[in-house]
Amino acid sequence: MKENIITKVEAFNVRVPLGRPLKLGAIEIPDRQYVIVRVYDEQGYVGTAHGLTRNAPIAETVLQTIAGIWTNRSFDQYDSLYELTLKANVCLGTNGIFYRALSLFDCALHDLMAIRLGVPLFKYLGGALRSTPAILVGGYPVPDESEDTLSGEMKLYESYKPAGVKIASTTDPLKDGKRLAICRKYLPQDIPLMIDCVWGQRNAEAFAREVSEWEGLNIGWVEDPFPPDDYESIRLLSENTRVNVAVGDEQSGYLNMLRLMDLGKIAVLRLDATVCGGIRSFINIAEEAGKRKIPVSCHVFHQIHAHLACVLPGVKWVEYMLPESDIESYQRLWHEDLVLDNGHFTPANRPGIGTLWNEEAIDYYRE
């Protein structure tokens, strides 16, 4: 029998409810739809990855554009097959739906390759076990938001000793300034505040004036203020405020990421292995960020990113949404989560990514 062979690729969606709908700028989030990608080998091992669909046909794209290239092929051809996959789908560009599909396939494949050797992903990639500071995410605008609700969130987050707290923008800088001031009132000064501006601004000079008013609030960074490819506006904001600018978490493409760093003059690179092209691409991009002395902050999916932080010293933070905040629901898909210990995450010391999947829950929520 042939060895090191991928025998099957599986991709499907699960839709997991939230306690209440969320709004992220113009994006309505009534629930969380995740895509799960699984890669099987000839010995019966399975590698698994999951990510957000963003209401796009990611599972179908995995099956239609990627599975046929890899099925019945050997892991030993990884480099050439990855390049072939890019070339065969060049018409689909270097961002968007195809790259999300490729990212999740590559993450699942790395999970499988590490599982086959019986080692955690970080060790498979040549890293050393370490703990990484966590940034807690919350503060999604809701109709009944008040000082009491924001103060309650901040007190909850403080109890976990995070490296920072990030809230979501209303896209109105004046409102956001008031919300940030309330958050700072109830959050210790030594815990930085970040704000995700959800690509909602259009005038860099006007927004820079607003951001300058926030400088006394210990703002860790302003995230994704402009549309992803508006490098000029990103640069103008970076050059006209003392507040750090961070971009990149929903983007992919090696050259695009270099432009974000170089043309955008950003201070922090946001990176997500489930979006940017997978483990391979994450490592390449993070290494380029390291050459530029730009720190990397990971976008959610803490279980896989905690491993990558053990491999790349420039990965300074992983991101987490507390189950009690009810803005994520993927915790229902596994039996056991990583422990947030004194504001840090350490990856699972089990083979592969180490997620203990709850198959009954996956079947229940599967579409």
CATH of the domain at 285: 3.20.20.120
Q: Are residues 43 and 174 in the same domain?
A: no
Q: Are residues 93 and 52 in the same domain?
A: yes
What's the predicted TM-score (pTM) here? 0.96
Residue 252 lies in a domain: yes
Q: What is the CA radius of gyration of the chain?
A: 20
pLDDT of residue 118: 98
Q: Are residues 156 and 28 in the same domain?
A: no
Q: Are residues 272 and 160 in the same domain?
A: yes
Q: Are residues 149 and 32 in the same domain?
A: no
Q: Are residues 98 and 173 in the same domain?
A: no
Residue 21 has pLDDT above 90, yes or no: no
Residue 169 has pLDDT above 90, yes or no: yes
SS3 73: coil
Residue pLDDT, tens place only, 256-282: 999 999 999 999 999 999 999 999 999
Residue pLDDT, tens place only, 110-126: 999 999 999 999 999 99
pLDDT tier at 19, thresholds 50, 70, 90: confident
| Distances from the Cα of 325 to the Cα of 142, 244, 339, angstroms | 13, 26, 16
What CATH number has the domain bearing residue 62?
3.30.390.10
Q: Are residues 172 and 303 in the same domain?
A: yes
Residue 1 lies in a domain: no
Residue pLDDT, tens place only, 226-248: 998 999 999 999 999 999 999 99
Query: Across the strands, what pairs with 318?
Result: 134
Query: CA nearest 39: which of 352, 366, 362?
Result: 352
Query: CA nearest 138: which of 168, 164, 100?
Result: 168
Contacts of 48 (CB under 8 A, 6+ apart): 36, 37, 38, 39, 108, 111, 353, 355, 357
Contact between 241 and 205 under an 8 Å Cβ cutoff? The reply is no
Q: What percent of the chain has pLDDT over 70?
A: 99
Residue 1 has pLDDT above 60, yes or no: no
Residue pLDDT, tens place only, 334-347: 999 999 999 999 99
Q: Are residues 106 and 139 in the same domain?
A: no
Lowest model confidence (mean pLDDT) among 23-27, 169-173, 192-196: 23-27
Q: Are residues 299 and 326 in the same domain?
A: yes
Average pLDDT, the chain: 96
d(CA 44, CA 35): 22
Q: Are residues 250 and 269 in the same domain?
A: yes
Residue 131 lies in a domain: yes
**Mean pLDDT of the 70-93 span:** 96
Q: Are residues 318 and 274 in the same domain?
A: yes
Domain range enclosing 70: 6-119+359-365
pLDDT tier at 300, thresholds 50, 70, 90: very high
d(CA 90, CA 120): 33
Q: Are residues 35 and 171 in the same domain?
A: no
The structural domain count of the chain equals 2
**Mean pLDDT of the 43-58 span:** 97
Residue 174 lies in a domain: yes
d(CA 50, CA 64): 18
pLDDT of residue 240: 95
pLDDT tier at 183, thresholds 50, 70, 90: very high
